[in-house]
Amino acid sequence: MAVQDQDSFRRAQAELEPKEDLAPYMGKWVALRNGKVVASDLSAKGLRSQPEVRPTDAIVPVPRSRPGYFIA
């Protein structure tokens, strides 16, 4: 495969990267538009029902994280 595949892979992988700190939303779902949070809710369904959320927005969970090491 060509080198541009590698470039497009890296670009595509960065697509959902948030452009703001998501720490205030830990434990919730957020709707991201262009990397910015436009709404949040405790469930994905509740988030989708909010009027400011568009069908094209990315619906993303924000897991809780405690200080220290993370193990899955």
Which residues bind to another protein, rule: CB under 8 A?
1, 3, 5-6, 8-17, 21-23, 25-27, 29, 43-45, 58-65, 70-72
| Nearest approach, Cβ of residue 20 and another protein (Å) | 11
In sequence order, what are the residues at sequence separation of 6 or more whose Cβ sits closer than 8 angstroms to the Cβ of residue 46?
Answer: 29
Nearer to another protein, 20 or 52 (CB): 20
| Nearest approach, Cβ of residue 30 and another protein (Å) | 9
Distances 65 to 2, 12, 26, 43, 55 between C-alpha atoms, Å = 38, 26, 7, 18, 28
